[in-house]
Amino acid sequence: MKTLRTKADDELVALYARGNNAAFDVLLGRYQNTIHSYIYFIVRNKELAEDIFQETFVKAIVMIRQGRYEENGKFKAWIMRIAHNLIIDSYRQERAENTISNDEADVDLLNSAKLCDETIEDILVRQQVLSDVKKLVRHLPENQREVLVMRYYQDLSFKEIADITGVSINTALGRMRYAILNMRRMAEENKMALSMA
């Protein structure tokens, strides 16, 4: 197992395809936290995130076993793209099954139990700003929200974002630019002050 940890992703994929299960365990160990965090940040539901996470790795296993992994040197981007597509499938299925009210997402800041150290006013202001930002992010078009989340919350490069989403770097940059412009516009229209100063 020690020698497996030093191998590149593609070597591990090749070993797993030939029946070495320990090779896949190393790949799972390398990327499980990143993948799970990404999925959870998008779906904001622990059980759903766990389901999509499991499905991501099951799909990866099946594709590797069937010889359908052809992303030389890009295993991370490949598995992130699988997770990304499963998240989209989940949203489509949810949209088809339910209509969700935006009212359900509101947070009652006055019932926060985490009031300490700072003044109550400071905490309420910070929470309101963070809440407003989350609301703005939720109202962005899906492709803009996705790029913003990957860049600021997953700390991915625009090259990685482009690989995962299957678009050019310029398209990813453009989506980020429009996401920021749209958030500023929505903040102005709704008279939101996105500063804690």
Domain 1-100 indexed as CATH 1.10.1740.10:
yes
pLDDT single digits (tens) 51-89: 999 999 999 988 988 888 887 778 988 998 899 889 888
Note the CATH number of domain 103-197. 1.10.10.10
**What's residue 183's pLDDT?**
81
**Cα end-to-end span (Å), the chain:** 52
Report how far apart, in Å, the C-alpha atoms of 189 and of each of 27, 43, 164, 183, 186 are: 46, 27, 33, 10, 5
Q: Structure pTM?
A: 0.54
Domain ranges within the chain, ordered by starting residue: 1-100, 103-197
